[in-house]
Amino acid sequence: MHVFDKNRKNADMKKHSIFIIAIMLLFTACNTQSKKVEYHKFIKTGEAQGSYYQITYFDSLNRDFGEQIDSLLIAFDKSCSNYQPTSIISKVNHNEEVALDDLFIGNFKMAQQISKETQGDFDITVRPLVELWGFGLKHSDSVSDAEVDSIMHFIGYQKVRLENGRIVKDDPRMMIDYNAIAQGYSVDVMANFLRSKGLKYFLVDIGGELYANETKVGGAPWKVGIERPKDGEKYGENLSAILSLRNKGLATSGNYRKYYIKDGVKYAHTIDPHTGYPVQHTLLSATVVAPTAGLADGYATAFMVMGVNKAKLILKHHPELQAFLIYSDENGKFKAYVSPGLNDMLEENSIQ
């Protein structure tokens, strides 16, 4: 009887303790819910890399990172801009001694990786050809086959490499061009900066290359539009599709804005590294979604070089990539190829 009473007393005490703990947990939960986190929305805009930038983020600490954002973009231009004569890439192209920074090296390594995966359809050594065809700092009145042939001797991603912190070229006339990857890579640099500050909800847009981190506060998705590839239309004037983007990078490459017409011939700004000539096929624009904006940027350019059929093969072997490819059929009508994994992100599609 004594043992029974002792056990009953212990049981009553245990129930009493559990009841107190339950009440405390309930109070804590109610108190937590009453202290709802307030987020402040920031939208930072400006000019960078010959284009615009718009960075949207939500911060519970109400911090303004405008100065740091501008400083990062300036540092990026000083490293990777072909249009700045004192940048690291300009000095490399002129065979000057210069210390390479992490931004330059990061771009180089990613570019070479994409070049290998695309059998050279993406190639950062096309700079002399870009200049020859009038899409760089100079403008050419005419281009001869002999000029193209002479330059092709020192075109090829395999002919340039990184050794002991230096760029080594097989031919000193070789020049590097990061324009097809740098904007996307700079988006990733900015996204990493925002994450380092503890930010969770943000969208980085630099010249149309994007990275969407999580969602907007409240769970609404980041929505981005894909332009219809039509000559003469303003940016954002006509959309082919709208995507929901989350924890992905996105980039679009197309030939419908950057081109010139001479003697009735339209010359696109995308240069085929294998031939030395502007591409001529039915693919009008390539939008790529990838784990990073840098990868999306590089592969979008590669797809514009290789065309629709080879792009489909690359997508088949790279499930981490998704794409929305707009091309013209034999009647000149717009058609779209949507990779299977992109369907879940597709909100609207006006091209079938």
Contact 295, 249 (CB under 8 A): yes
> H or E stretch including 249?
strand 248-254
Q: Using CA atoms, how far apart are residues 202 and 71, in angstroms rounded to an integer?
A: 19
Among 161-175, 215-229, 233-247, 316-330, where is mean pLDDT lowest?
A: 233-247
Each residue of 117-167: pLDDT tens digit? 999 999 999 999 988 887 654 445 578 899 999 999 999 999 999 999 999
- List, as one string, the DSSP characters of 117-158: HTTTSS-TT-HHHHHHTTSSSS--S---HHHHHHHHTT--GG
Residue 297 pLDDT more than 70? Answer: yes
Predicted confidence band of residue 199 (pLDDT cuts 50, 70, 90):
very high
Q: Using CA atoms, how far apart are residues 258 and 87, in angstroms rounded to an integer?
A: 24
Contact 186, 297 (CB under 8 A): no
From 111, 145, 152, 108, select the one nearest 129 (Cα to Cα): 152
Around Cβ 64, how many Cβ atoms within 10 Å?
11
Residue 281 pLDDT more than 70? Answer: yes
Contact 306, 126 (CB under 8 A): no
Q: To which residue do tokens 């070789």 refer?
A: 174
From 181, 131, 185, 182, select the one nearest 155 (Cα to Cα): 131
Pairing of strands 259-262, 222-227: unpaired
Among 34-43, 81-90, 283-292, where is mean pLDDT lowest?
A: 34-43
Q: Using CA atoms, how far apart are residues 56 and 43, in angstroms rounded to an integer?
A: 4
Q: Using CA atoms, how far apart are residues 349 and 352, in angstroms rounded to an integer?
A: 7
Residue 259 pLDDT more than 50? Answer: no
User: What separation in angstroms does the CA of 9 have from each of 31, 294, 303?
Assistant: 33, 68, 77
pLDDT at 50: 82
**Region 38-66: what's the mean pLDDT?**
95
DSSP-based three-state secondary structure for 275: coil
Pairing of strands 322-328, 160-163: unpaired
Structure tokens at 124: 């950062």
Around Cβ 98, how many Cβ atoms within 10 Å?
17
Pairing of strands 202-206, 166-169: unpaired
Q: Using CA atoms, how far apart are residues 248 and 291, in angstroms rounded to an integer?
A: 5
**Region 22-34: what's the mean pLDDT?**
49
Q: Using CA atoms, how far apart are residues 215 and 111, in angstroms rounded to an integer?
A: 29
Which residues face 333 on adjacent strands? none
| Residue, of 61 and 23, whose pLDDT is higher | 61
Q: What b/e readout covers 125-156, taking b as 16+ CB neighbours within 10 angstroms? A: bbbbbbbbbbbbeeebeebeeebbeebeebbb
Q: Using CA atoms, how far apart are residues 285 and 69, in angstroms rounded to an integer?
A: 30
Around Cβ 192, how many Cβ atoms within 10 Å?
13
Q: What percent of the chain is modeled with pLDDT above 70?
A: 81
| Residue, of 352 and 34, whose pLDDT is higher | 352
